[in-house]
Every structure is written in structure tokens, then in C-alpha cells.
């Protein structure tokens, strides 16, 4: 449900980093801010944290202009992972065009991951989005830690799901761009269908992702 | 974009804010004065759409123009025709810092408002659900109350019927005793009256001789009919009949104490009189080998329901008779205690076993054969004692007999 402002030639796309507490959502945003070099890049806006934990959300604005002159603006949000902040999570998730679910790879976090994923599924329904069609990618973060689920285990477990599975060490920026690129690939067809990115603005799938994440 | 969509979009915390909104929280005059000091008089602040928000209204010739960026887009411009470019750029950065702070505040407050609204809506729903369940519980409680009332009514009715049954059982036992007691004197009074009738016939046979004045024949006939004996016996059978009639009269008088068993009015009476009439009424039920002793002390009169208390004493006495069997002693004693009258009924009978002792006042508890007792005698007796403000105590040892004490306080009936 991107926000298309025809008058000012602006398309705003909302992407949300969801997941259990302390799984590395904010770290993903911080590394993206450091690593990405799109036409337009804003500062990370951090809205109140407590002991390194997000209380409201973080926001990273990114953007580019299409050859047609359309400003495509991305707003990357994180949600607070703690169970208590469900109302904020729902408000941030509202009107999202795509979601990255950041999971913690450690075996000890298995239950937290599934609870947070169930919460995502529930909240997607509650805010009026469609769980089956909403662009979504899964990132297993903290691959550098000991006692983690192996990639084979995770692939086997998620084999029946149709969502792309990515692996990352967000702290050193490994996998964060790939994750965003995978999400952009999911988001593009939806936006193209609705706003004619290719036909009217000359933006193909590849160019679209490259404009933000790079080639 | 329609006005409605605009409205809907304006509610969200994550929308883009205009420069007007971002400056809404601060004094524009102060900002204008500061900019004037920093840049000189020839400046103006424009929104993204070119609307002048601060400074001179007319377009500035050859002005230096700086973007005011929030996120990745300009939301307005700062123009100045006098100051140097670096100064204007520095001022624009200052305004951007202010805008960014305002944006943070606006986003946080709008998000907070969304959360509060959502919580409120959820609470409204919960409240509605609670009201519904409260109503349901209220109805349930009322229904329950009605059912309890109905049940209580049924139980009370059953209780009344049982008490009535117990009373009838007592009265039945009483009637049997009284019948026997009256039958006995009535038997010999009837027999005496038969004999008296024969004696009168003897006198009628002598009457013609008396009238004719035949002294010799009269004396012979007197002797022949043994009239000396007749005279003597006549007097004694009349005496005996009078005694018998008195006995019947006394029994009837004693019985009156029981006839008002249902009378609710209170009377001031002497408990000793109650004990005496109970003993008289029950006399026929006491086997010859059982010795009934009454020790009646001088006691103050008591305001009570005599019919009810008679039922208590009769109950205790008949229980004692049953306990002693063919041989033994029953002692009924009254004494004046501290603010109360004590009635003791002691027997030398079978006694009550240790396991049965705590249960004897329970309704329907009986050790007798089916049909021999309702199991309510002691329950009713204790209830009557309590209704008089008193208590009933029992001591008993198996094989040694039982001792029941009824405490009746003198001021026990509080109204």
C-alpha cells in the first residue's frame, strides 16, 4: 500500500524490519546506512531507546529519482521487539509494503523466533494486510555466534514456505544488503503492477533494486 | 488525491510533515528575529510549495537560496539577498536541526496517540463484553437466589412435617399410657357399680318388711341376706370408686399439660408441676422393677411454653425408661442454679456408646429398631431448650447409665 502522490511526483514505499527483541533489526538499519549509497540518503532517526532496546522505532529514509522524474522514497522502519510493545508494532506495521523478519540464529532463541513470527502473522491480519501476498523475506542473523542452527537445518525447516531465506552477520554488515535486495525483488512486481514502474517510469526490476542497494 | 484520503493520511505517524507543521510548536517571531540578527532584514522562509512563512512577502532579487531538507527531500527553502552564502547555509542547517527535532516529537506523539486510541477501542470492547457478562451473572445470581428460596421453602416444609410426625409419635405413646391408666380405675369403678346395684336390690327386698313393721321377720331376712356385710362393703366400694374417679380426674388434669402442645402463648408456671404431671402421665409405662424418684427443689417460676417443655421432659423420661429396661432407677431432679433452672434426668440404664454420643442430637439418628423411633426426639428436645434460651447437656457411659441436664435461663426468652 505504497503512498503515491501524483501531484508532487512522489512514491513512498514503507519497509518494516520485524522480529524478536535483540535480534539485530536496528543493527541492520545502521549498517545499511553505512553501506548503501543511493541518490538520496537521510540520517537514521532513532526514536528513544532504553538499554540498547528500541522503544518506538528507528527510521532510515532512502530514495532515488526515476528517469521519468518520479521520486521513489523508501522508509525503512524497525519495530520494538519486546512483547509488551505490541501496539507500537502494529502501528509501525500498518501500511507496510514489505517486511524483513530478522530472526536470531542461536538455538536458545528458537522459541522467541516462532513467537515473534506468529505475532507478525497475527498483526499482519490485524492491520488489514494479507499474509499470503505481503512481500516478506526471512533473515537469520548472528551467524557468527556459537551454538546456532545450521543453514541446512533452517533450510529444511523452512523448505515448505515460499519466503526467501537469508543469512547475515548484521554487526559486520554481512548479508544486510542481500536481505534488502531480496525484499526489493519481492516488492517490485507489486509496485510495477500498480504504478507501471517499467512502462511509465522506465524502471526495470534490476534497476529498481540497484538504485538503492547498488549493482 | 481526494480530501478523504488526505484526511486518512494525516492521521498516521509515518506521513511526511510540512514545514508549517514542523514550525507549529515554536514562536515564529523569535525565529524571525534571530534570523534577522544573523542574516539581516532581507530574508524569507518558504514552504516546499512556495508559500512565504517568514520574512518579506515580495520575491527577493538575486537571492541566495538554500534547501531545508528533512529525510531526503526539501520541505522548504531559505532565501536571502544580503548575507553571504555560508551564513545562509549555516542558518538553513540550524533550521534543519530544529525541524528534525520537531519531526521526532511529531512522530512520537502521533504514534503514541495511535496506540492510545487503539487501547481505548480495545478497552471499549472489553468493557462491553464485561457489561454483558455482568448482566449474565446478575441474571444467574437472581435465578440462583430464587432457586435457593424455593429449596429453603421445601426444606422448611419437610422439617415442619417431620416435627409434626415426632410430636404425633410422642402423643401416640402418651395416648397408650393414658388409656391404660384410665382403663384400670374405670374397670373397678364399673365392677363396683355392678355390685352396688345388687346391694340396692337387696335393700329393696327388705323394704316391705320395714314398711309392715314385722321386726322379727326383718331381723331374720337381714341376717339371711348378710346385710351387715353389704352395708360395710357398700361403703368401702364407694370409697374405692371415689378414689378411682379422683385418679381419673388427676390423669385428665395432667393430660391438660400436653393438650396445649401447639399453644404458642407463654405462661408463668412452676417447672416442678410439669415434672409431676409428666411422671403421672408416664407412670403406666414404667415397669414394676424400675424405681422412679423425683427430687423437686424449691425453684422460681419460669416464663415458658409449658406444652413444649412437657414434651422435652416426657421424651427424656421415656428414653430413660427404654434405657433401664426391667430393673433400675430413674431420677428426675430440679434445682435452682445461677439465673437458671436445672432439670436433671438420670438413669442407671444401658448408657450411650462413645461413638454414638456425639451424634445423639443429629436428626434421624437412632439406635432403635425401624419403627421404634423417629430419631428426632432428642433433636426436637434440644431445639425446644434452645428456643427457651437454654441448652441441653449429656453425660453417659456405656453400661452405667446416662445423665441429661436441661438448662433453662430465667430470662432466656428474649423478645
For the cut 60, the answer to whether the pLDDT of residue A214 exceeds it is yes
Chain A residue with the nearest C-alpha to that of B2: A5
| Cβ count near A14 (within 10 Å) | 23
- Beta carbons of B118 and A90 less than 8 Å apart: yes
Burial bucket for residue B76 (CB in 10 Å: 0-12, 13-18, 19+) = buried
* Residue B9 within a domain: yes
* Residue B253 within a domain: no
B10 CB within 8 Å of a chain A CB: no
Q: Is the pTM of this model over 0.80?
A: no
* Residue B189 within a domain: no
SS3 labels along B183-207: HHHHHHHHHHHHHHHHHHHHHHHHH
* pLDDT tens readout for residues B319-372: 898 889 899 999 999 999 889 999 999 999 888 888 888 888 876 677 776 656
Chain A residues with a Cβ under 8 Å from any Cβ in chain B: 3, 5-7, 10, 12, 14, 40-43, 45, 47-48, 56-57, 59, 61-63, 71, 73, 75, 77, 87-88, 90-92, 94-95
How many angstroms separate the CA atoms of B131 and B46, rounded? Answer: 55
* Residue B273 within a domain: yes
For the cut 60, the answer to whether the pLDDT of residue A88 exceeds it is yes
The CATH-assigned architecture of domain A3-213 is: 3-Layer(aba) Sandwich (3.40)
Phi, psi of B390 (to 5 degrees): -110, -175
How many contacts does A have with B, using Cβ atoms within 8 A?
60
Q: Name the nearest CA neighbour of B187 among B230, B244, B116.
A: B244
* pLDDT tens readout for residues B131-173: 999 999 999 999 999 999 999 999 888 877 777 777 777 667 6
Q: Which of B115-129, B201-215, B300-314, B375-389 has the highest average model confidence (pLDDT)?
A: B115-129
The residues, any chain, with a CB within 8 Å of residue B173's CB and separated by 6 or more, are B285, B318
Tell me the shortest Cα–Cα distance from B87 to chain A, in angstroms: 23
For A49, B140, B144, B148, the CA distances from B136, given in Å and listed in that order, are: 45, 6, 12, 18
For the cut 50, the answer to whether the pLDDT of residue A111 exceeds it is yes
* Residue B265 within a domain: yes
- Beta carbons of B14 and A61 less than 8 Å apart: no
Residue ranges of domains in chain A: 3-213
* Residue B229 within a domain: no
Give the CATH number of the domain where residue B379 resides.
3.30.565.10
Domain boundary among B66, B100, B125: B125
* Residue B396 within a domain: yes
Give the CATH number of the domain where residue B51 resides.
3.30.450
Domain boundary among B125, B140, B158: B125
C-alpha cell recorded at residue B362: 443429629
* pLDDT tens readout for residues B186-241: 888 999 999 999 989 988 888 888 888 778 888 888 888 888 898 899 999 999 99
Q: Which of A48, A61, A90 sits opposite B72 (nearest CB)?
A: A61
Domain housing B357:
260-415
Domain boundary among B107, B125, B143: B125
Amino acid at each position: 500500500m505504497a503512498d503515491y502522490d501524483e501531484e508532487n511526483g512522489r512514491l513512498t514505499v514503507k519497509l518494516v524490519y520485524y522480529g524478536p527483541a535483540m535480534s539485530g533489526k536496528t543493527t541492520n538499519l545502521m549498517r545499511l546506512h553505512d553501506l548503501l549509497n543511493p541518490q538520496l540518503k537521510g540520517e537514521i532517526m532513532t526514536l528513544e531507546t532504553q538499554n540498547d532496546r528500541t522503544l518506538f522505532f528507528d527510521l532510515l529514509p532512502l530514495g532515488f529519482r526515476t528517469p521519468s522524474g518520479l521520486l521513489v522514497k523508501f522508509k525503512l522502519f524497525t519495530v520494538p521487539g519486546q512483547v509488551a510493545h505490541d501496539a507500537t508494532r502494529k502501528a509501525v506495521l500498518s501500511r507496510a509494503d514489505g517486511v524483513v523478519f530478522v530472526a536470531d540464529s542461536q538455538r536458545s532463541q528458537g522459541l522467541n523466533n516462532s513467537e515473534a513470527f506468529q505475532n507478525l502473522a497475527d498483526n499482519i491480519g490485524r492491520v488489514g494486510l494479507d499474509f499470503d501476498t505481503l512481500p516478506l523475506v526471512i533473515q537469520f542473523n548472528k551467524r557468527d555466534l556459537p551454538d546456532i542452527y545450521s543453514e541446512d537445518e533452517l533450510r529444511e525447516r523452512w523448505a515448505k514456505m515460499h519466503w526467501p531465506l537469508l543469512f547475515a552477520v548484521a554487526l559486520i554488515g554481512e548479508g544486510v544488503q542481500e536481505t534488502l535486495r531480496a525484499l526489493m525483488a519481492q516488492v517490485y512486481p507489486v509496485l510495477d503492477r500498480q504504478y507501471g514502474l517499467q512502462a511509465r517510469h522506465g524502471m526495470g526490476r534490476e534497476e529498481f533494486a540497484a538504485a538503492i542497494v547498488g549493482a | 488525491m481526494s480530501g478523504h484520503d488526505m484526511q486518512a493520511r494525516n492521521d498516521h505517524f509515518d506521513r511526511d510533515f510540512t514545514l508549517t507543521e514542523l514550525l507549529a510548536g515554536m514562536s515564529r517571531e523569535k525565529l524571525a528575529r534571530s534570523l534577522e540578527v544573523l542574516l539581516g532584514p532581507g530574508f524569507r522562509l518558504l514552504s516546499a510549495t512556495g508559500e512565504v512563512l517568514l520574512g518579506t512577502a515580495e520575491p527577493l532579487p538575486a537571492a541566495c537560496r538554500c534547501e531545508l531538507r528533512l529525510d531526503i527531500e526539501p520541505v522548504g527553502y531559505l532565501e536571502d539577498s544580503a548575507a553571504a552564502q555560508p551564513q545562509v547555509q549555516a542558518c538553513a542547517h540550524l533550521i534543519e536541526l530544529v525541524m528534525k527535532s520537531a519531526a521526532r516529537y511529531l512522530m512520537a506523539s502521533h504514534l503514541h496517540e495511535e496506540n492510545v486510541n487503539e487501547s481505548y477501542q480495545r478497552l471499549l470492547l472489553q468493557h462491553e463484553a464485561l457489561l454483558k457478562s455482568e448482566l449474565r451473572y446478575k441474571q444467574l445470581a437472581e435465578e440462583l437466589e430464587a432457586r435457593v428460596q424455593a429449596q429453603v421453602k421445601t426444606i422448611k416444609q419437610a422439617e415442619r412435617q417431620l416435627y409434626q410426625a415426632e410430636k404425633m409419635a410422642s402423643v401416640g405413646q402418651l395416648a397408650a399410657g393414658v388409656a391404660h391408666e384410665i382403663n384400670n380405675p374405670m374397670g373397678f369403678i364399673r365392677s363396683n357399680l355392678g355390685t352396688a346395684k345388687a346391694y340396692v336390690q337387696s335393700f329393696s327386698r327388705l323394704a316391705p318388711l320395714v314398711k309392715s313393721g314385722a321386726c322379727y321377720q326383718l331381723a331374720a331376712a337381714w341376717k339371711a341376706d348378710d346385710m351387715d356385710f353389704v352395708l360395710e362393703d357398700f361403703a368401702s366400694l364407694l370409697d374405692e370408686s371415689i378414689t378411682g374417679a379422683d385418679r381419673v380426674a388427676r390423669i385428665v388434669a395432667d393430660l391438660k399439660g400436653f393438650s396445649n402442645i401447639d399453644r404458642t402463648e407463654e405462661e408463668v408456671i412452676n417447672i416442678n408441676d410439669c415434672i409431676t404431671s409428666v411422671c403421672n402421665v408416664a407412670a403406666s409405662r414404667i415397669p414394676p422393677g424400675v424405681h422412679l424418684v423425683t427430687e423437686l427443689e424449691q425453684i422460681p417460676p419460669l416464663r415458658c411454653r409449658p406444652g413444649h417443655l412437657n414434651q422435652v421432659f416426657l421424651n427424656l423420661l421415656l428414653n430413660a425408661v427404654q434405657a433401664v429396661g426391667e430393673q433400675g432407677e430413674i431420677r428426675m431432679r430440679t434445682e435452682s442454679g445461677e439465673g437458671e433452672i436445672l432439670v436433671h434426668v438420670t438413669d442407671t440404664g444401658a448408657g450411650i456408646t462413645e461413638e454414638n454420643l456425639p451424634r445423639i442430637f443429629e436428626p434421624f439418628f437412632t439406635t432403635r429398631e425401624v419403627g421404634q423411633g423417629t430419631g428426632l426426639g432428642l433433636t426436637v428436645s434440644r431445639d425446644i431448650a434452645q428456643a427457651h434460651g437454654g441448652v441441653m447437656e449429656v453425660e453417659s457411659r456405656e453400661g452405667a447409665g446416662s445423665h441429661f441436664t436441661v438448662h433453662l435461663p430465667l430470662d432466656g426468652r428474649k423478645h
